[in-house]
Amino acid sequence: MNASAQKATVQKLWATDTILKIPESVLVDDKENCLWVSNIDGASNGKDGKGSISKLSKTGAPINLEWVTGLNAPKGMARYKQELYVADLTELVVIDIKKASIIKRIPVEGSVFLNDVTVNKNGAVFVSDSRTGKVHRIENGVVSIEVENLQGPNGLLSIEDQLLILDRGSLLSITPGGAISKIMDGMDPSTDGIERVAPNQYIVSCWNGIVYFVAAGAQKITLFDTRSEKINSADIGYDAKNKIIYVPTFMKNSVVAYQLQLQ
């Protein structure tokens, strides 16, 4: 093990009641001092208008469970300035946070199952499509393909000039020139959400119920595994200041908070 190897554990803090409707993603919003939760509320590929975004406090208390409604199986989210971007099956939905209303729906041509969203420092939006193996870029209203021929991309994270992609058990890094390198592999193939803890240190969730601590090039530690309890761990949120991981449990209709402890 190199110098970045360390011990990582979690302690469960709390769980909400079953107040959510198939929660897929949690986004920590320090500006609004809240948690955004996307609710599929139906089939994960259903264009049924039943999906919604809930607003919770950082301690899991409901603020507005139907903050924005009328979505189609919404999944990953990202914030940029006063807008919340949501992957909504075949569209990127743009929500004005102050108005709590949808202001734009950007169709992604050829998309089937848009899954996660990240925004870089310049405001370019990236959205993964787990079914077509592509990551799309949306900039100034123009949709293009950033990466293709992946196995099943889901979680995305823009860091400085890199784009990190979870691709069916592997964590990949893409440079602006398009070079792909592998940061970690051998994780459960249902890799879903990624959050940065510190430079080269990440939390990775897998939909099946496993969450890892990953130190780039060094190690992966299983923080918890709830597969035997049939509790999913979909697209996690992370409070970096307080080191709290927020886990949407999908079919269990709750969000669970864990304290991350590093030594």
Nearest to 128 by CA among 71, 85, 95: 85
Decide if pLDDT at 55 tops 70.
Answer: yes
What's the pLDDT at 3?
44
Token readout for 34 is 């809240």
What's the pLDDT at 1?
38
Q: Domain 8-262, what architecture?
A: 6 Propeller (2.120)
Quote the CA–CA distance of 140 and 154 in Å, as a whole number: 23
Residue 78: beta bridge partners?
85
Greatest alpha-carbon span in the chain: 50
pLDDT one-digit tens code per residue, 120-175: 999 999 999 999 999 999 999 899 999 999 999 999 999 998 999 999 999 999 98
pLDDT one-digit tens code per residue, 235-249: 999 999 999 999 999
What's the pLDDT at 5?
56
Look up the pTM and report it.
0.96
Length of the chain: 263
Decide if pLDDT at 191 tops 60.
Answer: yes
Structural domain boundaries in the chain: 8-262
For the residues 195-218, what does the mean pLDDT come to? 95
6: confidence class by pLDDT, cuts 50, 70, 90 = confident
Quote the CA–CA distance of 103 and 233 in Å, as a whole number: 30
